[in-house]
A and B are shown apart, each in its own frame.
Chain A
Amino acid sequence: MTFVENLTLFVLSAFVGYEVITKIPTNLHTPLMSGANAISGITLLGSVVVAGSGSTTLATVLGFLAVVMATINVVGGYLVSHFMLDQFSKGGRN
């Protein structure tokens, strides 16, 4: 049953994503990409759960690497987006 619930969530999210993202102008596609990228770093959650519960050394090592990678993705992605969007709002004041 859980799989079907997950699938429901997946399909509905896909529709929401389509509706919202097609409205984003070309101007903002680069910041959108790095922002979306940061969101995909949500795997961090998975890494946290696994790294935290790691009952074997191997699982802990894998979890550690996963957390490092995902955190780079999240922190870097949001910051890059932020800097870029700042440029856009600065440009808008001209």
Chain B
Amino acid sequence: MVGVLGGLPQSVLSLAYLVAGVMFIQGLRDMTHPRTATRGNQISALGMFVAVAVTVLWFEILSPLVLAAALLVGGAVGAWLAVSVETTEMPQLVGLFNGFGGGASALVAGAELVDTTNGLAAGSLPVGLTATAAIAGLIGSVTFWGSLVAAGKLHGLVGDSPVSDNAGHAIKVVFLLAAVVAGLYLVVQPDVLGSSPLASWVPSYWVVVVAASVLGVFLVVPIGGADMPVVIALLNSYSGLAAATTGFVLNNTVLIVAGTLVGASGLILTVIMCESMNRSLANVLFGGLGESSESEDMEDIYEGNITETSPEEVSMLLETAGRAVIVPGYGMAVAQAQHAVAELAALLEENGVDVEFGIHPVAGRMPGHMNALLAEADVSYEKMRELEEVNPTFSQTDIVIVTGANDVVNPKANTDDSSPIAGMPVLNVSDAQTVIVNKRSLSPGFSGIPNPLFAEDNTSMLFGDAKQSMQDLLNQYKESTG
């Protein structure tokens, strides 16, 4: 079982894996600053190349044709998807890739089991192998199906309203138990079918896979579209853990190192996302949002207190402004308004206005999504401010333009303890002199509650589609500043 490099001692392979592991870590370290991040990504990719190349050269490949074909097909599909994706659709693509990672882990574990069974007397599969394979199959399958559903929701193929019902919870518990029991069975009694021909398929492993697949689907289906950043981050963590577990199956050091890094990354992002919404992970995964019984409040709050404005008026305000903050939300991304917004910001800057973007951590459909969208529209990353940085500056801000955002600027989070979003950190935009809210209507956001910000004295509503409104505002401002 040794190939081109096979004559060399085992330590050479391990050293190559060490090099790859170090490159992954260095790559992530370079990600800590936008200036070095591109290089970091390349270092990481090179590390992957080293690891794969050494592995291919080391092991004797019985079917190099099969391997080459698979690499070619996968490479072509991956490259095509990456080249053709729009930044707004990035979250679902990342979700999809993530699923493939998990799926690969589950398949590898299965193949390894089948392969090992074939060379052994029935029932003598080593416990280390069966146990880790069961875990890889469980996590990998949940990741694969969960990611597919998440990607489908983000792409609008699967309904994305949050639901929470007891039947759903029961199904999840049943299939989790089924997967665990089948997994235990695989460990304790791998030769369930004795010497029948089917035994070489290791059937209990595939029971784990099927049960975990159903579990993966039912875990993600009830979660609302706006909670997808958390789900995607969590599934990212799972696919890393699946890879690490595969490393345990195959006794492969670089798989363990790399998989663990990804697991940590996904978990940290998950925690950050949950903290930004002041909700526990359990609440995001199983809770849906609290029922809102306040729909009749809406008229009391809004009645007679809504001031409508026009692009002309906003443009006039901008002409005299010294500092402006733009707060983008997912609505801006959906309307593809980021280019108009970025152009407006650039023009304001030219005219001596201090412009910054206030970005809420859960704005968008995955961690940092809004930043990526704005960067694509040529907004400098120095202009993008995080919540804690921008909040103290609102009191010195002349005008805030909120476009396509709602819950992340809802003052109820600070003032009303019974509100479903109570305690969630929000952008305190009403500290500014004037707030312009660009929205299609007064309809509530994801949380389903009214937003008293719209009724405040210093708030004016600029109704309309984000792209159209921002474009009108941009044209108006261009005209009047000549």
Contact = CB atoms under 8 A, between A and B. Distances in A.
Interface string A45-86: 111111111111011101111111111111111111111111
B157 interface: no
Given A50-B108, A78-B41, A39 B262 contact: yes
A38 B51 CA distance: 13
B44 A54 contact: no
Residue among A14, A23, A53, A68 having the largest count of chain B Cβ atoms under 10 Å? A68
Given A27-B371, A69-B107, A13 B257 contact: yes
Nearest to A23: B32
A67 to B, nearest CB: 4
B186 to A, nearest CB: 16
Interface in A29-54: 29-54
Contact of B34 (A28, A41, A65, A94): A28
B318 interface: no
Interface stretch (B265-273, B292-300, B409-417): B265-273
B118 A52 contact: no
Contacts of B371: 26-30
Interface of B is mostly: helix
A-side interface size class? 35 or more
Interface stretch (B377-385, B440-448, B451-459): B377-385
A76 B410 CA distance: 37
A84 B249 CA distance: 34
A46 B118 contact: no
A85 B258 contact: no
Interface stretch (B213-221, B235-243, B473-481): B235-243
B430 to A, nearest CB: 23
Contacts of A69: 74, 100-101, 103-104, 107
A35 B74 contact: no
Contacts of A21: 28, 261, 264-265, 268
B449 interface: no
Given A42-B48, A44-B52, A87-B375, A35 B108 contact: no
Contact of A35 (B31, B128, B361): B31
B18 to A, nearest CB: 11
Interface residues of B, number: 119
A29 B332 CA distance: 19
Given A9-B253, A36-B240, A72 B78 contact: yes
B395 interface: no
B41 A48 contact: no
Nearest to A22: B268
B167 interface: no
A39 B384 contact: no
Of B25, B27, B268, B368, the most chain A CB neighbours within 10 A belong to B368
Given A39-B258, A56-B114, A87-B372, A30 B90 contact: yes
Interface string B291-321: 0000000000000000000000000000000
B258 A56 contact: no
A59 B66 contact: no
Which of A30, A52, A67, A81 gathers most chain B CB within 10 Å? A30
B259 interface: yes
A47 B108 CA distance: 5
B91 to A, nearest CB: 8
A70 to B, nearest CB: 4
A33 B366 contact: yes
A73 B368 contact: no
A48 B35 CA distance: 34
Contacts of B41: 31, 35, 78, 81-82, 85
A43 B74 CA distance: 13
A81 B33 CA distance: 14
Interface string B25-55: 1011101111101101110110010011001
B252 A46 contact: yes
Contacts of A75: 74-75, 78-79, 82
A87 B380 contact: no
Contacts of B55: 45, 48-49
B97 A34 contact: yes
A53 B371 CA distance: 44
Nearest to A64: B70
A46 B108 contact: yes
B82 A42 contact: no
A81 B243 CA distance: 20
B364 to A, nearest CB: 8
Interface of A: 2-3, 6, 9-10, 13-14, 16-18, 20-56, 58-60, 62-94
14 contacts: A2-B128, A6-B253, A14-B263, A20-B32, A25-B32, A28-B31, A35-B31, A35-B44, A38-B48, A38-B97, A40-B243, A50-B111, A84-B372, A87-B375
Given A42-B259, A76-B93, 8 more contacts: A13-B264, A33-B368, A34-B97, A35-B28, A45-B250, A52-B56, A85-B34, A88-B38
